[in-house]
Amino acid sequence: MLNNNDTEMQIHGIAASPGICVGKAYLVGREGVDVVEKYSVKREKLKEEIKRFKDAVKKAKDELYRIIEQTPKDLSQHAHILETHMVLFKDKMLYGRTIETIENEQVNAEWALKTVASNVKAMFSDMTDSYLRARAADIIHVSDSIMRNLIGAETESIASIGKQVILVATDLSPAETSQIQLEKVMGFITDRGGKASHTAIIARSLEIPAVLGLENATRIIKNDDIIIVDGTSGVVIINPTGQALIQFEERQERYEEHKAVISRESHLPAVTLDGIHLQVMGNIELPEEVVAVMTYGGDGIGLYRTEFQYLSRSDFPSEDELFDKYKDVVDVITPRPVTIRTLDINGDKAASYASDSEAANPVLGLRGIRYCLQKPDVFKTQLRAILRASAFGHIRILLPMISCLEEILETKKILNEVADSLDNEGIDYDRNIEVGIMIEVPSAAILADIMAKNVDFFSIGTNDLIQFSLAVDRVNRQVAHLYQPLHPAVIRMVKHVADVARDSGINVFMCGEMASDPMNLPILLGLGLEKLSMNPQSIPMAKKTIRSLAINETRPFIAEVLKETTTKGVMNLVQNTYGSILSDKIFKEG
């Protein structure tokens, strides 16, 4: 049995968001579905087991019926899908076979359902007809809802959790993470996920400790177990002893002190020892986070990920809604700049009304600029809102997922049309607004010289650039060790982009998480990157590190870095040359 009762136990995962907390575990209901035990059922108990299954089907059907009844008329398409699910509950393949499996194999209902559902899913997904393949997704939904009722797991939404807890989940989507309410959730841990995932990025923005990629947390931890989450070292302690709790308190105190010391200096400028003034800005997902950027001494917003305003809702936001949000941000951050990135929807940030659930590789699918160019109305609505807000402060426009020149040219055409429409209506906007692109697809990095002639600035998005250039999924725990910002290929690619930008006389920013790790700063400064943007929490430490570096030393250091042939070699070189400066290690090792 995996059940650990009350003995202390430690599990290790990926340190995704710093900070330490202790509290009661709260297993996110839906995820209980994955934890299926198999046990045999005596012949005389089979009838009872089948009844248990039928009861669960009935409860799941009743739940769905209530949801259909409550679905507003304008979402009737959605209701239609749910009605299809109603039929599937009594489908012979799912319902009939599960009962047969319980009887024939004398196993528990959960196991029988899981086996049957996997077979049906496999059968559907092998079909070439896309409509039939899509039915596989419906079967998953239906079997999950029966399973939830069998296991007795609750289906509460994350937004409605009502006590101070630590969430334990198989996975949390970025949309779910963004709904976490800070007064109710102290931290979270998941079985899946990687450090550069949007889930991790949002945890850092929300400043809640998080450990991801724990693999088995949902199997080992039970509801209400006391757990300590150390998001700085990636350790989770289950049922800690008194001794462990005392150590936890000491560590938490040291962490708070460390944070306070760094925060006190956060408003000092990021000037290197040889007098070069760098810009250190913040990345935000929600307008409210602008306050954190200010608190941590950010020089503006280097990346506003606008897609979160499109998630967790049933339809696209209106131009006025978007304008109000952008203006809120501008009003707080002015006179500092804000770089608004146009919609990077889909990929791992899918809105139900705008995504293609059949895409096998959504991250390489119809997302970001590709989506916007196919949906000019959606794009124009956002561009109008951004241009209108530009009349109130310093806004830059940033285009995500650019992979070829045509995407820039097409976007500019649409932007001109939008500007003309505002002109015709006599609405004011910044006529000199800068338009830049994310360099996050390797083809854009390779074509940097061509791109530079057509845009005002680059922003290097290392989160995706690393994922795509090293072919390592940024959310996959199993290959997290291969996700290496200091891989020699990444360094060369960043160098190429920075060199081209300098030669072309355009600005280059870095807004990927690579910029937030002090360990990477000697190299980034040496490559000539002087405008960095990161999660707000990391700003004070980055500024402090920059104040201890001299560019006239980091520049020649790059020649040494380029001689290294492996990530480990680069890391050792940085450690040997700059180890004493990179002081936040204290906490990583603590």
Residues that bind Mg ion (CB under 5 A): 440, 461, 464
Min separation Cβ 305 and Mg ion, Å: 9
Query: What contacts 228, CB < 8 A, 6 or more positions away?
Result: 20, 21, 22, 235, 236, 237, 240, 244, 245, 248
Query: Of Mg ion, ligand PEP, none, which one does residue 29 interact with (CB within 5 to 8 Å by kind)?
Result: none
Asked if 463 interacts with ligand PEP (CB under 6 A), we say: yes
Catalytic residue flag (residue 511) = yes
Min separation Cβ 197 and ligand PEP, Å: 9
Asked if 462 interacts with ligand PEP (CB under 6 A), we say: yes
Residue 534 token pair? 């990161």
Place of tokens 């390797």: 442
Residue from 440, 473, 517, 584 binding ligand PEP (CB under 6 A): 440
CB closer to Mg ion out of 97 and 367 = 367
List phi, psi (to 5°) of 49: -65, -40
Asked if 444 interacts with ligand PEP (CB under 6 A), we say: no
Min separation Cβ 345 and Mg ion, Å: 12
CA distance 176 to 311: 9
CA distance 18 to 262: 14
Asked if 171 interacts with ligand PEP (CB under 6 A), we say: no
Which has the closest alpha carbon to 485: 499, 464, 502?
Answer: 464
Query: Of Mg ion, ligand PEP, none, which one does residue 330 interact with (CB within 5 to 8 Å by kind)?
Result: none
Min separation Cβ 234 and ligand PEP, Å: 20
Asked if 543 interacts with ligand PEP (CB under 6 A), we say: no
Min separation Cβ 231 and ligand PEP, Å: 19
Query: Of ligand PEP, Mg ion, none, which one does residue 366 interact with (CB within 5 to 8 Å by kind)?
Result: none
Catalytic residue flag (residue 21) = no
CA distance 96 to 176: 34
CA distance 432 to 417: 15
CB closer to Mg ion out of 29 and 512 = 512
Min separation Cβ 466 and Mg ion, Å: 10
CB closer to ligand PEP out of 18 and 512 = 512
**Per-residue contact flags (x/-) with ligand PEP for residues 495 to 524, judged by CB under 6 A:** ----------------xx------------
Are 13 and 215 in contact, with CB atoms under 8 Å apart? yes
CA distance 468 to 464: 6
DSSP string, 152-180: T-----GGG--SSEEEEES---HHHHHT-
Asked if 461 interacts with ligand PEP (CB under 6 A), we say: yes
CB closer to ligand PEP out of 167 and 510 = 510
DSSP string, 20-75: EEEEEEEE-GGGGGG-----B--GGGHHHHHHHHHHHHHHHHHHHHHHHHHS-GGG
Give the catalytic positions in this structure. 198, 511
* Residues making contact with ligand PEP (CB under 6 A): 303, 305, 344, 440, 461-464, 511-512
